[in-house]
Amino acid sequence: MNAIIAQLKDCFEQALVAAFGSEFAGTDPILVPASNPKFGDYQCNVAMSLSKRLGKNPREIAAAIVEHLNVDDLCEPPSIAGAGFINLTLKPAYLEAQLRQMQTDSRLGIAPTKYPKRTIVDFSSPNIAKEMHVGHLRSTIIGDSIARVLEFLGHDVLRINHLGDWGTQFGMLITHLKQAYPEALTTANALALGDLTTFYKQAKQRFDEDEAFRETSRLEVVALQAGNPETLKAWHLLCEQSFLAFQEIYELLNIKITNRGESFYNPLLAGVVEDLAKLGLLVEDQGAQCVFLEGFTNKEGDPLPLIIQKSDGGYNYATTDLAAIRYRTQQDQAERIIYVTDAGQANHFMQVWQVARRAGWVPENVELVHVPFGLVQGEDGKKFKTRSGDTVRLRDLLDEAVSRARQDLETRLEAENRQETEEFKAHAADVVGISAVKYADLSQNRTSNYIFSYDKMLALQGNTAPYMLYVYARINGIRRKGDIDFEQLGANYPIVLQEELELTLAKHLLGFDEILSAVEADLMPNRLCQYLFELSQKFNQFYDRCPILQAAEPQRTSRLILADLTARTVKLGLSLLGIAVLERM
């Protein structure tokens, strides 16, 4: 609907053909937002790039384009500046009409995609019998946000939790369970593993110290692979306990995800090996079944193998990942498969994908994407740990954020002499605390490491969740004060954009769809954060200098509409980041 830039591009493509002939059809007009507001709103840089091809100087070319350009409905007359830039400024009347459309649309003028893709977002992926820790934070938050954006744009998204629920470590876990909690296998609901981490550590410790325990564990792995009912029951109990613990975290974070762990692909692994052998890709090396990779070498410079089946006959994660790719392309019919994992797995994915492609399991139209992210570091720049040096449990991390948000809130209420109910305080602290954690993570370019700081993420000023939540609450303050019903606003008054700050805000509001398209393509939620932060700043500037409730009509209603659109955009934008809003805070 808005798609301002798309409309302008069309105009320029037509002008290029009209000016220079049909062989210029499809030339990218290099239309981008203006680098500086003094140049207008958009600039076309195509004239410089055509200079050599046309044998003319760029300003001449720009003039010829402008002569054939028809953007009268959208823009003021274009101007040519500098080396041959064509500068465009949107007409207030056009902006007003666009805002009106945005106002009357529950999707704020953002059309669903014309090309919905079956998409898998593979994220979070904790391990059974271990608690979720800080290492799962980024995948969970970033993956959820990417899924939300794609869902909103109309893609058919499968959110997959590729849980670590299979493999050799289950030998020791099952053995420990059977020995330490024998009643769990015979009595329903007898098992309540309050602390999975302790359970895991105990099992690990016995595994490391006790030869007999190790041998039993090894046999349990075999029994598990063979489908022994008692072993499977123990495995199942461990999974169930873990799901409960994970679910608590997902509810706290308001995240929906479908569990489909590594065990799901277990029955398919033998087929993967078989088919790779049939395709002639498999080579036995030192007893293991391998595919030798193109473009990867080991320390000696020899081709690097990807091990598909270990020398003991067992499978490893490459096998599982291959089975998953095949299942996702063939059974799920996925066209875009997005893996949200730490950057350290980049090599692994390149290797597995190469094999999957060589095996013909990835059709041409299917896109495999790794969405890498950096490590979470403490304020000292080292790996984020507790004071005692342990890994930080996700639960504790979130509780701490909420508790700090609660303290900030209490302090402020006291300073302002406000009385609020316990319910209000608890809810506000929850929303602010969780939002702060999510926003701090999402607002950074995910490829770099991320320094975790409660103080910075909970700060009331700067590019933080509280700053944006405040804008939303502030607009609701106006609504309450003026007793305004935003739903019934303004059919009887026009939208009028006169003040510079009104125009700036309006233009920013209308750029929302372009940002979502960018996030859809490059899967960088920090762009959405940047957009919302700039929107909040622009609203606050507008609010600071343009009276709303005290203004005379039609300005009053017009400004209320700008406020309403800002609130709705902030609410929608934050929801796509997985962040809730507060009417008051």
Partner RNA sequence: GCUCCAGUAGCUCAGUGGAUAGAGCAACCGCCUUCUAAGCGGUCGGUCACAGGUUCGAGCCCUGUCUGGAGCGCCA
- Window 242-301: residues binding RNA (CB under 7 A): 262, 285-288, 290, 296-299, 301
Per-residue burial over 343-377, b if 16 or more Cβ lie within 10 Å, else e, is beeeebbebbbbbbeebebbeeebebbbbbbbbbb
Contact between 470 and RNA (CB under 7 A)? yes
Residue nearer to RNA on the CB measure, 92 or 477 = 477
Contact between 543 and RNA (CB under 7 A)? yes
Contact between 481 and RNA (CB under 7 A)? yes
Residue nearer to RNA on the CB measure, 144 or 502 = 502
The CA dihedral of 345, 349, 352, 357, to the nearest 10 degrees, is 180
Contact between 505 and RNA (CB under 7 A)? no
- Tell me how far apart the alpha carbons of residues 144 and 578 are, in angstroms, rounded to a whole number: 7
Q: Which of 22, 36, 365, 421 binds RNA (CB under 7 A)?
A: 36
List the interface residues with RNA, window 367-386 (CB under 7 A): 372, 374-375, 381
Residue nearer to RNA on the CB measure, 113 or 345 = 345
Number of residues that bind RNA (CB under 7 A): 103
CB of residue 307 to RNA, shortest distance in Å? 5
Residue nearer to RNA on the CB measure, 184 or 503 = 503
Instruction: Evaluate whether 437 touches 398 at the Cβ level (below 8 Å).
Output: yes
- Cβ-count burial of 185 within 10 angstroms (0-12 exposed, 13-18 middle, 19+ buried)? middle
Residue nearer to RNA on the CB measure, 391 or 537 = 537
Q: Which of 473, 489, 496, 580 binds RNA (CB under 7 A)?
A: 473
Residue nearer to RNA on the CB measure, 255 or 436 = 436
Residue nearer to RNA on the CB measure, 190 or 545 = 545
Residue nearer to RNA on the CB measure, 279 or 343 = 343
Amino acid letter, residue 519: V
Q: Which of 11, 15, 29, 45 binds RNA (CB under 7 A)?
A: 45
Half-sphere exposure in the Cβ direction for 269 (13 Å, CA): 23
- Tell me how far apart the alpha carbons of residues 434 and 398 are, in angstroms, rounded to a whole number: 6
Residue nearer to RNA on the CB measure, 29 or 578 = 29
List the interface residues with RNA, window 185-244 (CB under 7 A): none
Q: Which of 6, 25, 83, 270 binds RNA (CB under 7 A)?
A: 83
Determine the 3-state secondary structure of 233 from DSSP. Answer: helix
Instruction: Evaluate whether 216 touches 185 at the Cβ level (below 8 Å).
Output: no
- Cβ-count burial of 59 within 10 angstroms (0-12 exposed, 13-18 middle, 19+ buried)? middle
- Tell me how far apart the alpha carbons of residues 566 and 468 are, in angstroms, rounded to a whole number: 11
Contact between 37 and RNA (CB under 7 A)? no
CB of residue 191 to RNA, shortest distance in Å? 24
Instruction: Evaluate whether 330 touches 120 at the Cβ level (below 8 Å).
Output: no
Residue nearer to RNA on the CB measure, 140 or 526 = 526
- Tell me how far apart the alpha carbons of residues 292 and 307 are, in angstroms, rounded to a whole number: 9
Instruction: Evaluate whether 87 touches 38 at the Cβ level (below 8 Å).
Output: no
Instruction: Compute φ and ψ for 43, nearest 5 degrees.
Output: -135, 145
Q: How many CB atoms lie within 10 A of CB 416?
A: 7
Residue nearer to RNA on the CB measure, 184 or 276 = 276
Q: Which of 11, 221, 355, 409 binds RNA (CB under 7 A)?
A: 409
Q: Which stretch binds RNA (CB under 7 A): 60-68, 130-138, 274-282, 341-349?
A: 341-349
Contact between 533 and RNA (CB under 7 A)? yes
- Neighbour order of strands in the sheet with 31-33: 31-33, 42-44, 85-88, 79-81
Half-sphere exposure in the Cβ direction for 511 (13 Å, CA): 21
Contact between 305 and RNA (CB under 7 A)? yes
Map residues 93-132 to x or -, x wherever contact with RNA holds by CB under 7 A.
Answer: ----------------------------------x-----
Q: Which two tokens stand for residue 453?
A: 């700081």
Q: Which stretch binds RNA (CB under 7 A): 132-140, 178-186, 250-258, 524-532?
A: 524-532
Q: Which of 112, 182, 267, 462 binds RNA (CB under 7 A)?
A: 462
Q: Which of 460, 491, 494, 553 binds RNA (CB under 7 A)?
A: 460
Contact between 55 and RNA (CB under 7 A)? no
List the interface residues with RNA, window 147-186 (CB under 7 A): 164, 167-169
**DSSP states of 495-552 as a string?**
----SHHHHHHHHHHTTHHHHHHHHHHH--HHHHHHHHHHHHHHHHHHHHHS-STTSP
CB of residue 507 to RNA, shortest distance in Å? 13
Q: Which of 104, 179, 347, 403 binds RNA (CB under 7 A)?
A: 347
Contact between 435 and RNA (CB under 7 A)? no
List the interface residues with RNA, window 15-34 (CB under 7 A): 30, 32-34
Residue nearer to RNA on the CB measure, 34 or 185 = 34
Instruction: Evaluate whether 517 touches 1 at the Cβ level (below 8 Å).
Output: no
CB of residue 559 to RNA, shortest distance in Å? 8
CB of residue 558 to RNA, shortest distance in Å? 13
**DSSP states of 274-329 as a string?**
HHHHHTT--EEETTEEEEEEEEEE-TTSSEEEEEEE-TTS-B-HHHHHHHHHHHHH
CB of residue 87 to RNA, shortest distance in Å? 5
Instruction: Compute φ and ψ for 484, nearest 5 degrees.
Output: -95, 140
Instruction: Compute φ and ψ for 188, nearest 5 degrees.
Output: -65, 140
Q: Which of 537, 554, 575, 580 binds RNA (CB under 7 A)?
A: 537
Q: Which two tokens stand for residue 50?
A: 């055509």
- Cβ-count burial of 341 within 10 angstroms (0-12 exposed, 13-18 middle, 19+ buried)? buried
Contact between 57 and RNA (CB under 7 A)? no
Q: Which of 197, 517, 541, 575 binds RNA (CB under 7 A)?
A: 541
Q: Which stretch binds RNA (CB under 7 A): 43-51, 183-191, 265-273, 384-392?
A: 43-51
Residue partners of 22: CB distance under 8 A and separation at least 6: none
